[in-house]
Structure 1
Amino acid sequence: MRRFEGKVALVTAAAQGIGRAVVRRIAAEGGAVVITDLQEDAVAALAEEIGAEHALGVKVDVTSRPDVDAAVTATVERFGRLDLVVNNAGGCIVTTMPEDTSAEDWHRQLDFTLVGAARCIQAAIPHLVKTRGNVVTISSVNAIAAFGNVEYAAAKAGQIAMSQNYAARYGPLGVRFNVVAPGTIRTPNWDDQPGALDQLRAMYPLGRVGEPEDVAAAVAFLGSDDAAWITGHTLPVEGGVLTGPNPIDLSPPDTLHERL
């Protein structure tokens, strides 16, 4: 398939994991890709892998509006257009118990995951209107069901609400907004937790955790003209984990009542 022939995509947090798989998938389908991440060397290596004719690497911190603006400007200067933004940046950066999370940590989590995606959308909108392009944001099953990580889940749920509202606002101008909500995906984030993925796969009816390529395939569908009449929706890519009772024990520790 060459669904992205003649089109240009900007992907955030694209140096590894899901972002890298998305970049490779779009490039394989004929698209030009702007690879953004804080990992400058990894960005450059991936751009070299794809080739200078079809790839541009840019160091970007999504918590910085000047960084985001500069990346969008570089995209249009290099390729002349912008058709697709993939908001992949965002992760769980708060590890405290929810009753212990400070206001500062709440702001850090929301700024990185939710407001970071909003910055990218705001910077890209004028160009997406011109191309009748679209945005695909990578959320999480945590936004849909209770799997823990309260602050992360709230930020990811905010991405879904934001995308629905943008879809309604910009639909009349031909710009689409959709969301992919992955379950557990085998990424480098799990490298320091040996055996964790083997334990987690028992949660999934399909008997395995996801691979970055599973998410990339969903992004390629929603970001292409195959999804031309789909906007404001969230596509779970989660191996069936949302089909049954949540197997994770989220009950508070026995000592919680003593603290309240």
Structure 2
Amino acid sequence: MTSNSRLTLITGAAGGIGRGLVERFVAGGDRVLAHDRDAEGLRALSAGYGDGQVLTVASELSDLDALRAALAPLTAAHGPIGAVIANAGSAEGLSLAATRAEVWRRDIELNLHASYCTFEAALDGLKATAGNIVFIGSVNGLVALGHPAYSAAKAGLISYAKSIAIEYGRLGLRANVVCPGTVKTPAWQARADKNPQVFEELKKWYPLGDFAAPEDVAEAAWFLASPLARMISGAVLPVDGGLMAGNRAMASELTLELF
């Protein structure tokens, strides 16, 4: 790890996609600030890396003052944050009927408000380095696929990223969104326990006939955060096996052809 390594903040780092992100950015030469509310998960994560490659941050992500306080000693010691991968999120309310006010508030707070706090906490560093932020959104933010509060929050991330892109672009600061489809992570375990065939049944909706792995999401985020994407800002990149390209089953029924 060189002294001029970029300092990258990754939230939700102890989860399935988060671990893939940390691995990719460390492999690319970055020093990673790994944030998660799961302190034990962060300890296990950092144990797999060399000294100083992964620095852990356990704080409340939706509390801006607390997040700034947690990051301050790390940025003082290691320099400004040059990239942010805002990955933290989860879904609770399965449908509108099942979404009570408190469920709505929690889903919006973690999936949208916490991303606002993440950006604001890193903003001074991103300005100083002409850095960039990549939000990990979801195809749920593009079409209705259940989890309405989560979906509304992910749709909000797209609008928020575009606002960042136009307001801070003059400083060289970029903002983009990666929208994964189904990704096989531990978060899906409850559904797999309920229906062991859930993944096989879902594959028919994906033109590529398969789902993304955490590594696929990480590669997309790495690209958008890299100099290779220096002219890309305010963009939305699905990583979804072609799901957002259209509905194969419906197309077959409309054309009376089997695709």
Between the aligned partners of 2:248 and 2:168, the Cα distance in structure 1 is 36
State the Cα distance separating 1:74 from its structure 2 match. 3.5
Letter in 1 for 2:243: V
Provide, for residues 152-189 of structure 1, a one-character-per-residue CA deviation record: whole Å limited to 9, x for no partner.
Answer: 11010000000100110000011110000000001001
Q: What TM-score do you get using the length of structure 1 for normalisation? A: 0.89
SS of equivalent to 2:81: coil
SS of equivalent to 1:83: strand
Task: Rate the CA distance shift 1:243–1:131 in 2: closer, same or farther, 3 A.
Answer: same
Between the aligned partners of 2:77 and 2:108, the Cα distance in structure 1 is 31
| Fraction of identical pairs, as percent | 37
CA contact (8 A) 1:8 1:84 kept: yes
Provide, for residues 188-207 of structure 1, a one-character-per-residue CA deviation record: whole Å limited to 9, x for no partner.
Answer: 01122222222222211111
1:60 aligned residue: 59
Letter in 2 for 1:144: L
SS of equivalent to 1:191: helix
SS of equivalent to 2:146: coil
Give the gaps of 5 or more residues in structure 1: 249-260
Q: What TM-score do you get using the length of structure 2 for normalisation? A: 0.89
State the Cα distance separating 1:246 from its structure 2 match. 7.7
SS of equivalent to 1:232: coil
CA contact (8 A) 1:10 1:75 kept: no
1:235 to 234, 237, 247: 237
1:122 aligned residue: 120
2:199 to 182, 197, 200: 197
Give the gaps of 5 or more residues in structure 2: 251-259
CA contact (8 A) 1:63 1:112 kept: yes
Between the aligned partners of 1:193 and 1:108, the Cα distance in structure 2 is 21
State the Cα distance separating 1:99 from its structure 2 match. 4.0
State the Cα distance separating 1:247 from its structure 2 match. 6.3
Between the aligned partners of 1:64 and 1:51, the Cα distance in structure 2 is 30
2:36 aligned residue: 37
State the Cα distance separating 1:102 from its structure 2 match. 2.8
Letter in 2 for 1:87: A
1:9 correspondence with 2:11: no
SS of equivalent to 2:48: helix
1:1-260 residue pairs with structure 2 within 5 A? Answer: 6-95=5-94, 97-99=95-97, 101-194=99-192, 195=196, 196-245=198-247
CA contact (8 A) 2:205 2:247 kept: no
CA contact (8 A) 1:180 1:235 kept: yes
Provide, for residues 114-147 of structure 1, a one-character-per-residue CA deviation record: whole Å limited to 9, x for no partner.
Answer: 0000001111111100011000000000111121
Size of the aligned set, in residue pairs, is 244
The alignment's C-alpha RMSD in Å is: 1.8
Task: Rate the CA distance shift 1:114–1:247 in 2: closer, same or farther, 3 A.
Answer: farther
Provide, for residues 206-252 of structure 1, a one-character-per-residue CA deviation record: whole Å limited to 9, x for no partner.
Answer: 1111100000000000011111111011111000011222869xxxx
Task: Rate the CA distance shift 1:192–1:101 in 2: closer, same or farther, 3 A.
Answer: closer
